[in-house]
Amino acid sequence: MQTELSRTLGIEHAIFGFTPFPAVAAAITRAGGFGVLGAVRYTAPDDLARDLDWMQEHTDGLPYGLDVVMPAKKVDGVSEADVEAMIPAEHREFVRATLAKHGVPELAEGEASGWRITGWMEQVARGQLDVAFDYPIKLLANALGSPPADVVARAHDHGVLVAALAGSARHARHHADAGIDVVVAQGYEAGGHTGEIASMVLTPEVVEAVAPLPVLAAGGIGSGEQIAAGLALGAQGVWLGSLWLTTTEAELHSRALTAKLLAAGSGDTVRSRALTGKPARQLRTEWTDAWDDPAGPGPLPMPLQGLLVAEAVSRIQKYEVAPLLGTPVGQIVGRMNSERSVQQVFDELTRGFEQAVDRINRIAGRSSHE
């Protein structure tokens, strides 16, 4: 499964795996793909350095990357406390009442929220980069469009390629103009922040819009046949995220959440602003229903919503309150119906890819060995 981009990065298969779990990212790299560690949950530089040290020890000298969340426009002098102070009392009361309705216990006295998305704050992301560039990462991805120009330049100075996600051809052209090296065309089906154009339409539009830049297809991809389709549409690889959540290496720390993912169908997700303030595909739960209810106050814009619900999400996760328990995940969740190792997933992906290529060759009237 070789493309020009995979050869440039020195990987066996043009499969890029995004994950918040170091063990999964390292396993993806060892399996011949390209593991990309999500940095948004690292609020302390030392924690990121610890896990990058671990990645170094468990990737056998093979390449891997990092995914951060940075807005393209820099805002100076805004602290987390400043942002917290902007959250209306009405929204805080709505969170309290929703948790009380479902009997969600409080955290223990002095226990800090385990789920903070201060990584959405630019100064935190910049601190992550100060750590990351001390390691031999080969790719820096940004989930919120093109990173600031100085970050792109800094990455290039370190010999690091820069990737950015796009939900439309217009966004992709902005990335190209900003000096981005790889565009991830993320379709509507994807988990997390996503636009409104489906992958089958989006991928060839983006390929055409930014040619000759390499494009990765993302959104709703979870089989080798779908990888073959993405490459047939002009992509130089695929970007997979949701598929790794039910691997044995994933560190969800919640059997209840794993069970919900394994049982979910492709129609059991929703694009909601409940988690971060921007539309993000996730499991549909009574928590997302409450925030999407017109009778409620509605979600706040990013990053206010993420800071508002951080402790609530920690409590829901810690006590495994099933009706409210969810996670960002794409429509491919309908295929995630068994726990497998990352290597087993790769074996299925490569086998399915080979079968798809053989099938097309037969349709075209040629041997797969020609």
Each residue's pLDDT expressed in tens, for the chain with a length of 370 residues: 899 999 999 999 999 999 999 999 999 999 999 999 999 888 888 999 999 999 999 999 999 999 998 765 555 555 667 778 889 999 999 999 999 999 999 988 877 665 555 445 677 788 899 999 999 999 999 987 888 899 999 999 999 999 999 999 999 999 999 999 999 999 999 999 999 999 999 999 999 999 999 999 999 999 999 999 999 999 999 999 999 999 999 988 789 999 999 999 999 999 999 998 989 999 999 999 999 999 999 999 987 898 899 899 999 999 999 999 999 999 999 999 999 999 999 999 999 999 999 999 999 987 655 5
Q: Give the pLDDT confidence score for residue 153 in this predicted structure.
A: 97
CA-to-CA distance for 215 and 122, rounded, in angstroms? 26
End-to-end CA distance of the chain: 16
Residues β-bridged to residue 192: 281
CB atoms within 10 A of CB 200: 16
Residues β-bridged to residue 37: 19, 66
Q: Give the pLDDT confidence score for residue 72 in this predicted structure.
A: 55
Q: Give the pLDDT confidence score for residue 243 in this predicted structure.
A: 97
CA-to-CA distance for 328 and 191, rounded, in angstroms? 5
State the burial class of residue 221 (Cβ atoms within 10 Å of its Cβ: 0-12, 13-18, 19+): buried
Q: Give the pLDDT confidence score for residue 119 in this predicted structure.
A: 46
